[in-house]
Amino acid sequence: MAFRDFQAHFDKVEVCNPTPDALEGDTVPKWVVAVPQGSWVRGATAGGCRSFLDTFWTNPQIKLSLTEKDEGQEKRTFLVALLQKDRRKLKRFGASMLTIGYAIYQCPGQDRHLNKDFFRHHASQVRSKTSINLREVSDRFSLPPGAYTVIPSTFGPHQAADFCLQIFSEKKAITRDMGGTVDIDRPEPPMPTPPGQETEEERQLRALFTQVAGESLFLQFDADISGTMSSCELRTALKATGKGKPGPTGESCLHARRCFQLSTPLLQLVVLRYADQEFQLGFDDFFNCLVGLETASWMFQALSTENKEFIHLNINEV
């Protein structure tokens, strides 16, 4: 085939690499593969692409650590493939291939789930060439060693699916799901109140209510003054419950201010429980959510005697 004919009839070339450097040397090195998996859940972790800034940050975030350079190179070469799972199996139920893609951000010193402000002020280092409705989207990149965050997404928000992210490299790449930890800042309760005043339970509930209602926490996330807040902001709102001013008697009231950091699976369950079909929470829904988390955390600590991450229940305790 003449080169001019090749140019006339083809506009894309895909190169398949059986090994990291199959065309060089006599040795046969093998790929090192990391395979983090996750889900896009409506109203919780299905944030859509970067064009939807208000929800993009809620997508699953995979921390990627490139610790070594390639031999004789200043950068690290790796392949990233994003696959949407079970779409062909679900075709008979009316499901079709979603338009998917991913972006990779450099984030040195960031060891937490990145918030909306980060993406407002930072551009991606590299990204998939295009979002497309194929089962798999893959590309090859070269980046300096360092800390990065991979954001897999559908094109539009609130599109539910399971995905698999495959990262191929010559040397080991360390990956970690940034939504996999649960951390509830729940300090010890204060000393009993003096006689004649409110009971401890009443005082804590009053402080919690004042913190949520009186300090405008809820209103902070009700941007359009509609009386509801988006479930996509629930992660940030729960963290914000740990902030506040001194109480009415002058004490800090930090004992009554809880900071809830939920794992991605737990956050998804909370959204399914408290958000409506439009992924909105009213004030009563948000307050019930806080009370439920507060109660669950106290119960968990009471039943956790040896291991602080797990509890064992008998039939009577269930």
Q: Are 188 and 133 found together in one domain?
A: no
Domain of residue 190: give its range. Answer: 183-303
In a domain, 9, yes or no: no
Which of 126, 152, 177 represents a domain boundary (last residue)?
177
* 21 domain-assigned: no
pLDDT of residue 91: 80
pLDDT tens digits for range 276-316: 888 888 888 888 888 888 888 888 877 776 666 777 777 66
Q: Which residue has the higher pLDDT, 217 or 293?
A: 293
- Domain boundary residue, one of 159, 177, 195: 177
pLDDT-derived band at 192 (thresholds 50, 70, 90) equals low
Do 173 and 37 fall into the same domain? Answer: yes
Do 218 and 169 share a domain, yes or no? no
Whether residue 190 is found in the same domain as residue 293 = yes
- Same domain membership, residue 99 and residue 85: yes
Residues 149 and 208 in one domain: no
Residue 54 maps to which CATH number? 2.60.120.380
Task: Report d(CA 88, CA 79) in Å as an integer.
Answer: 24
The residue with tokens 């509930």 is: 205
* Maximum mean pLDDT: which of 29-33, 81-85, 312-316: 81-85
More confident: 213 or 122: 122
pTM (whole model) above 0.85: no
Nearest to 31 by CA among 87, 79, 102: 79
User: Is 22 a member of any domain?
Assistant: no
Measure the CA–CA gap between 76 and 79, rounded to whole angstroms. 10
Residue 219 CB coordination number (10 Å): 13
Whether residue 40 is found in the same domain as residue 169: yes
Assess contact for 101 and 130: CB atoms under 8 A: yes
Mean pLDDT over all residues of the chain? 79
- Quick one: 173 and 188 in the same domain? no
Same-domain check for residues 104 and 187 = no
Q: CATH number, domain at 240? A: 1.10.238.10
On whether both 259 and 210 belong to a single domain, the answer is: yes
Q: What is the mean pLDDT of residues 245-259?
A: 43
> How far apart, in whole angstroms, are the C-alpha atoms of residue 213 and residue 226?
15
Number of structural domains found in the chain: 2
Residue 309 lies in a domain: no
Claim to verify: residue 129 and residue 166 sit in the same structural domain: yes
Strand-pair partners of 103: 127, 151
